Amino acid sequence: MNKKTKEIIDKLYTTSSLSEPEYLDLIEGRTGEAEEYLRSLAVSVRKKHYGNKVFIRGLIEISNYCKNDCLYCGIRRSNRMCDRYRLTKDDILSCADTGYALGFRTFVMQGGEDPYYTDETMCDIIAEIKRRYPECAVTLSLGERSRESYKRLFEAGADRYLLRHETADSNHYSSLHPKELTLENRIKCLHELKEIGFQTGCGFMVGSPYQTKENIAKDLKFIEEFSPEMCGIGPFIPHKDTPFRDFTAGDAELTCYLLSIVRLAVPTVLLPATTALGSILEGGRELGILSGANVVMPNLSPEDTREKYSLYNNKLSTGAESAEKLILLKEKIASIGYEIVTERGDAIRK
């Protein structure tokens, strides 16, 4: 590792802040040695705040209907090959019941932007989960909605909201999305969520089509400044029925390097080792944890819908990725020196 790269890493470690050009230098200066050094600092920072705990979230994929047409996503509205489904309130509650019994204390409801789930419908589901399990956290990942809608969901009891910014560069944003979707609105939503009081998560895909190193530097600076409670970073993986079918998947090592950087830029962030990372690399989930991540999100959706929630090809939803196999996951995580815990795992408020 050259002297300059080491100095930048040390600066990030001590100040949790870099300029955009410095983030770029860090990305360009990535070597095995730099990876290792960053990882060791990221692990020590994570340890300082969260010990060796790894938090689990039960992921309930409530619908693969989507009114949007994001070019990378397998459940985009113009994918005629997608076998659509949506879960009813009862389906979702039965997932939560199963999850609770398994030890989950956070439920994440994620889906395409499906107008079926009006504020009224969602508030009713959230309130019922909270009534049954008051000590559990409810996280939503339902895309862009109005401020009013976010407010109603929050008042119904939702605690957290995940909305990846996808890319902090508006030109790059336009190359990944149809023109009715804008970075401006995405960012507006993120600020509204935060103001309303949600623990808020942003994030992006590594190696998405047309992404440059400069784009990633911008993402990192955005994350540092937005200072989210959560941050989802996973490799892009092509889906055969999307316009991006012929692009190559993102790089697992670069993803882990970026996880370490984000751990240093936002020391208390709740950072998942994503399913996408586990899907492109055997042991990817573990490598994510060893790079500074501290969250995993096993799949709690009904077994027969899992393969239909196909954002990208070869998405893991079985084995240690499935909620029922929590034992397997616990063993894997224990084998690398970490401990799966069942507490809610809220963000440490800064």
In order of 42, 107, 277, the CA distances from 333 in angstroms are 17, 20, 15
Does position 231 bind ligand SAH by CB under 6 A?
no
Nearest distance in Å: CB 280, ligand SAH: 9
Beta bridge partners of 106: 137
CA-based nearest residue to 68, from 125, 165, 142: 142
Tell me if residue 153 falls in helix, strand or coil: helix
Does position 99 bind ligand SAH by CB under 6 A?
no
In order of 32, 203, 216, 273, the CA distances from 347 in angstroms are 31, 16, 24, 16
Does position 112 bind ligand SAH by CB under 6 A?
yes
Does position 73 bind ligand SAH by CB under 6 A?
yes
Nearest distance in Å: CB 232, ligand SAH: 7
Does position 273 bind ligand SAH by CB under 6 A?
no
313 to 342, contacts with ligand SAH by CB under 6 A? none
Does position 65 bind ligand SAH by CB under 6 A?
no
Nearer to ligand SAH, 105 or 186 (CB): 186
Q: Cα Rg for the chain, rounded, in angstroms?
A: 19
Nearest distance in Å: CB 4, ligand SAH: 32
Nearest distance in Å: CB 163, ligand SAH: 5
Letters for 296-315 (x = contact with ligand SAH by CB under 6 A, - = none) are ---------------xx---
Question: DSSP per residue over 68-112, as a string?
Answer: ---TT-TT-TT-TT----B--HHHHHHHHHHHHHHT--EEEEEE-
- Whether the CB-CB separation of 301 and 322 falls below 8 Å is answered with no
Positions touching ligand SAH (CB under 6 A) are 72-73, 110, 112-113, 141, 143, 163-164, 166, 205, 234, 236-237, 239, 276, 311-312
